[in-house]
Amino acid sequence: MDQESMRRSRRSGGRAGRHAVRSAPLTEDIKPIRPGMEGGAYKPLSETGMQRIHEAALEAMEVIGFADAPESGVEILTGAGCIQEEDGRIRFPRALVDDMLAKAAREVTLCARDPAHDLQLSGNRVHYGTAGAAVYVVDQENREYRESTLQDLFDAARITQELDNVHFFQRPMVARDIEDNFEMDLNTIYASCAGTKKHVGTSIFDPDYVDGCLDLLHHIAGGEDKWRERPFVSNSNCFVVPPMKFATESCRVMEKCIAGGMPVLLLSAGQAGATAPAPIAAAIVQAVAECLAGMIYVNAIKPGHPAVFGTWPFVSDLRSGAMSGGSGEQALLTAGCAQMHHFYGLPGGAAAGIADAKLPDMQAGWEQMCSNVMAGLSGLNMVYEAAGMHASLLGFSLESLILGDDLLGQAMRCVRGIEVTEDSVSLDTMKEVCLEGPGHYLGSSQTLELMQRDYVYPAIADRLSPKEWAEVGKPDLLEQAIKRKREILDAPRKANIDPVVDNEIRKKFAIHLGAG
């Protein structure tokens, strides 16, 4: 065999070897990315900046205080050391903040019904997932918006179960086809748990609904004791109405959820330029002050109760006042909030991945990737609304959720960063290739070894050459997402709730989702 033939053979063999390696399922120990990888490399705030935000937040809590606490909240907070003054507002002495920070949980495990999907929240560990309260679904095939339904919510949960890079499922849309609010809350929990065994987050509309929701969760868990041992649903709680007012009914919901053993997301969602100050730093100040008040509230009830420090300030387009979730300012807000979570050493979450674009197009791509990457690099523990969200949180797209899995895979690879080790900078392979070998690295043992350990490959995105793309019929990205959606939803349903338990639930509760 002549030298040219040998080179062609080597190239062919290397290509075949790479294809064989890439086609094989990855075992957990060699996956290049996984939930909870450490971020924290990106820091838009200086140490001085964080300290100034902290001092301003303390002053806001002590001087401005909070209105509209429920009677139970007044009793809880004043019992912990807060002061209710003549204007009715609750004010927080600075020393109390330090005392309660010492009692707060520094590490939180958000359990899943499948322990393989448990979320370990501490330090700079990053997890991406859904969230929101969209009232529309993006009908990609007809390029229109329609009201979201319980079936859509269930479908989103089923899809999320199949996506490696979407680590949790917080309710992303509202079941608009259920008029009764209590039945909506029950069915939201049911549909979410029936669709996925990953951790679920949801809101509860009224404190009177909490007992019924917990009863449903006890059935799914197999008893109250098993639920309390591994609570797999958290309460997303908007306990404040920015600026600096408690949401009276939501606070009462939070109190009952804590008593029921449910983790809580303390969610402050001011909008810069509207319900929060326009300066990015000041918007963070208000969100931090509000969430510190929530942290004190929680730990005054039950020290160390699992809570996520949910600073979620949003951005306004100041020309119109409309929300601009896909802006660079939003990405900076979220990353800055993540730094403040680390400043306090508390598990935290914030919003990223929101598109103002109405459809999964190029605008959506840059909007979703920009904030997701910055959130991950900042080490945000829980990146909410990371996939599927359009129209500034008004619309949710199942196809965008599927495409988001690829997007988040690339974002998480950025979070992982570059490992510089003795092996990774060794010249042995370079010497072999340059001095003795074919002059390229395509078939080298090092390349084959690192193909899966160091590199992330998209499931849907297209990396074909123009010639190859034409040869396979010029596949369209959105058509591929629609195809994948149909494959998941047309497959037989998985019994994520035991059939016997499911039958008991249907006898006791008004479940609107058809049995599958």
Q: What is the pLDDT of residue 162?
A: 98
Rounded mean pLDDT of 122-151? 97
Q: Which residues share a beta bridge with 310?
A: 267
Mean pLDDT within 28-45? 92
Average pLDDT over residues 358-367: 97
H or E element in which residue 120 lies: strand 119-121
Residue 124 confidence (pLDDT): 98
pLDDT at 200 over 90: yes
Average pLDDT over residues 20-44: 82
Q: What is the mean pLDDT of residues 411-424?
A: 94
Contact 261, 38 (CB under 8 A): no
What kind and span of H or E run contains 233?
strand 233-237
> Given a cut of 80, is residue 150 above it in pLDDT?
yes
* pLDDT-based confidence at residue 19 (cuts at 50, 70, 90): low
Q: Would you say 21 and 451 are in contact if contact means Cβ atoms under 8 Å apart?
A: yes
- pLDDT computed for residue 184 by the predictor: 98
Copy the structure tokens of residue 69.
């606490």
- The percentage of residues in the chain with a pLDDT greater than 90, rounded to a whole number, is 88
pLDDT for the residue numbered 318: 87
Is the predicted pLDDT of residue 433 greater than 60, yes or no? yes
Instruction: Kindly report which listed range (4-18, 395-409, 417-431, 488-502) carries the lowest average pLDDT score.
Output: 4-18
Stretch 147-155: mean pLDDT: 98
What proportion of the chain, given as a percentage, has pLDDT over 70?
95
Compute the average pLDDT of residues 495-500: 94
Show the tokens assigned to 390. Answer: 């359009």
Q: Could you give the CA distance from residue 381 to residue 26 in angstroms, rounded to a whole number?
A: 25
Residue 495 pLDDT: 85
Q: What is the domain partition of the chain in residue ranges?
A: 47-100, 105-416
* DSSP state letters, 265-310: EEEE--EETTTB-SSHHHHHHHHHHHHHHHHHHHHHHSTT--EEEE
- Beta strand 307-311 pairing with 264-268: parallel
**pLDDT bracket for residue 6 (50, 70, 90):** very low
- pLDDT tens for 434-475 read 998 899 999 888 888 888 899 999 999 999 999 999 999 999
Kindly report the average pLDDT of the chain as a whole number.
Answer: 94
Q: Tell me, what's the pLDDT at 22?
A: 54
Residue 29: predicted pLDDT: 77
- pLDDT number for residue 17: 53
Which of 32-36, 104-108, 319-323 comes out lowest in average pLDDT? 319-323
The CA-atom distances, in angstroms, between 142 and each of 96, 139, 482 are 55, 6, 12
- For residue 235, count CB atoms less than 10 angstroms from its CB and return exposed for 0-12, middle for 13-18, buried for 19 or more: buried
The pLDDT tens digits of the residues spanning 254-289 come to 999 999 999 999 999 999 999 999 999 999 999 999
Question: Is the pLDDT score of 20 beyond 60?
Answer: no
pLDDT at 26: 72
Supply φ then ψ for residue 104, to 5 degrees. Answer: -70, 150
How does residue 28 score in pLDDT terms, banded at 50, 70 and 90?
Answer: confident
Binned at pLDDT 50, 70 and 90, residue 154 comes out as: very high
**Would you say domain 105-416 falls under CATH 3.20.20.480?**
yes
pLDDT at position 357, please?
97
The DSSP code sequence of 344-410 is HT--BEEE-----SSSSSHHHHHHHHHHHHHHHHTT-SEEET-SSEEGGGTEE-HHHHHHHHHHHHH
pLDDT at 136 over 80: yes
Burial of 439 (0-12, 13-18, 19+ CB in 10 A): exposed
Which residues lie below 8 Å from residue 154, measured CB to CB, with a gap of 6+?
Answer: 191, 192, 194, 195, 513
For 24, residues 6+ apart whose C-beta sits below 8 A from its C-beta are none
Say if residue 103's pLDDT is above 60. yes
Q: Is the pLDDT of residue 404 over 80?
A: yes
How far is residue 106's CA from residue 67's CA, in Å, rounded to a whole number? 28
Residue 21 has pLDDT above 80, yes or no: no
Question: CB 428: neighbour CB atoms within 10 A?
Answer: 9
Please give the pLDDT value at position 437: 86
Among 4-8, 44-48, 353-357, name the one with the lowest average pLDDT.
4-8
pLDDT grade for 321, boundaries at 50, 70 and 90: confident
Assess whether pLDDT exceeds 60 at residue 409. yes
What pLDDT, on the 0 to 100 scale, is given for residue 11? Answer: 47
Phi, psi dihedrals of residue 496, rounded to the nearest 5°? -75, -10
Q: Is the pLDDT of residue 132 over 50?
A: yes
Confirm if 169 and 384 have CB atoms less than 8 A apart. no
The whole-number pLDDT of residue 15 equals 53
| Dihedral, CA of residue 169, residue 162, residue 356 and residue 346, to nearest 10 | 40
Q: Please determine, for residue 220, whether its predicted confidence score (pLDDT) is greater than 50.
A: yes
